Amino acid sequence: MRYRWNIIFICCPLLFSILICDLYISKTYGSDISFYELTEESNYQEGCFAPCMCPIFLVPNIQGNFLLRILSQADELTHYEVLEVEWYMSYGGESVHIIGSGYYQICLDKHRMELDLKVGNSPIQHFDSGLVPYEYEFPNISLAVALNGFYCYDQVFDISAVPVLVGFDQSTWGRLKAMFR
Boundaries of every domain in the chain: 31-179
Across the strands, what pairs with 104?
A: 80, 113
List the CATH code of the domain at 31-179: 2.40.128
Say if strands 125-128 and 110-119 run parallel, antiparallel, or are unpaired.
antiparallel
Q: 33: closest CA among 83, 76, 73?
A: 83
* 36 burial via Cβ count (<10 Å: 0-12, 13-18, 19+): buried
Q: What is the per-residue pLDDT for 175?
A: 55
Q: What is the per-residue pLDDT for 93?
A: 84
- Grouping H, G, I as helix, E, B as strand and the rest as coil, residue 57 is strand
Distances (CA, A) of 55 to 28, 29, 77, 104: 44, 42, 38, 30
**36 Cβ contact partners less than 8 Å away, ≥ 6 residues apart:** 65, 66, 67, 68, 141, 161, 162, 163, 164
Q: What is the per-residue pLDDT for 18?
A: 46
Mean pLDDT in each 10-residue stretch from start to end of the chain (181 residues)?
54 47 47 90 93 88 94 91 96 91 93 96 96 86 94 94 66 53 49
Query: pTM (2 decimals)?
Result: 0.74
Q: Which residues of 79-114 are buried (b: 16+ CB within 10 A; e: fewer)?
A: ebbbebbbbebebeeeebebbbbbebbbeeeebbbb
Q: What is the per-residue pLDDT for 2?
A: 57
Q: What is the per-residue pLDDT for 92?
A: 80
